[in-house]
Amino acid sequence: MHLLSSARVKAGESVLVHGASGGVGLAACQISRAYGLKVLGTAGTEEGQKIVLQNGAHEVFNHREVNYIDKIKKYVGEKGIDVIIEMLANVNLSKDLSLLSHRGRVIVVGNRGTIEINPRDTMAKESSIIGVTLFSSTKEEFQQYAAALQAGMEIGWLKPVIGSQYPLEKVAEAHKDIIHGSGATGKMILLL
């Protein structure tokens, strides 16, 4: 909810969820679809692509293919994408800017390093780069998001997808798999 409110989305707009097969990405696809958005996703495995389509995406692209950005551009045409939810900004942000529509927004959710971008890429389209973190939400905002997510689960448009499960004593292995793994499918959980 926080991601989409930060992006000021409107029904009918397009959203690209990078890394859509992970827990946050799948939730973003489901919520975006419930909001009436045209949902595109990326995933790096065939299994990931299938699960993204099953969770609200209208179309999915393999971000491991060299020309996947060209395929996205061809799919969306000249208009571009209104909102991009970015899980790995240090890899994708520069490419994201080339995909945006006029006044498009990149919502940075994840990042693992630095990247060089050309600010002119934001100027021509009057686009925005917005960083978000749930931890900066006020108590009232957090309660609103929690209530909306709970309602989504109760009526069925939000269905959490469980991925890898680790016993608590293997937390170091879980962390290593998140950082160095080849891609996520669903939300990783620790078992007590």
Query: CA 116 from chain center: how many Å?
Result: 21
Structural domains counted in the chain: 1
| Residues 139-143: contacts with CB under 8 Å, at least 24 apart | 141/2
Specify burial of residue 110 (Cβ count, 10 A radius: 0-12, 13-18, 19+).
middle
Instruction: Count how many residues are written for the chain.
Output: 192
Q: Is residue 187 part of a domain?
A: no
Residue 179, pLDDT > 80, answer no
Dihedral of the alpha carbons of 73, 59, 81, 136, in degrees to the nearest 10:
-130
Helix and strand numbers, DSSP H then E, in the chain: 8, 8
Angle at 46 between CA 26 and CA 38, to 5 degrees: 45
Q: Is residue 155 part of a domain?
A: no
- Strand, helix or coil at 147? helix
Q: Is residue 180 part of a domain?
A: no
Q: Is residue 188 part of a domain?
A: no
The predicted pLDDT at position 41 comes to 98
Ordered DSSP codes for 114-126: -----THHHHTTT
This prediction's pTM: 0.87
**DSSP category for residue 16:** E
Q: Taking residues 140-165, what's their average pLDDT?
A: 82
65-116 residue pLDDT tens: 999 999 999 999 999 999 999 999 999 999 999 999 999 999 999 999 999 9
Write the CATH number for 32. Answer: 3.40.50.720
The predicted pLDDT at position 146 comes to 81
- Strand, helix or coil at 59? strand
Q: Is residue 114 part of a domain?
A: yes
Work out the pLDDT band at 183, boundaries 50, 70, 90.
low
Closest CA to 189 of 181, 171, 17: 171
The predicted pLDDT at position 1 comes to 56
Work out the pLDDT band at 32, boundaries 50, 70, 90.
very high
- Judged by average pLDDT, the poorest of 21-30, 70-79, 182-191 is 182-191
Q: Is residue 164 part of a domain?
A: no
The predicted pLDDT at position 142 comes to 78
Q: Is residue 55 part of a domain?
A: yes
102, two tokens: 């006029």
* Domain boundaries, position 90: 1-136
Q: Is residue 160 part of a domain?
A: no
Residue 54, pLDDT > 80, answer yes
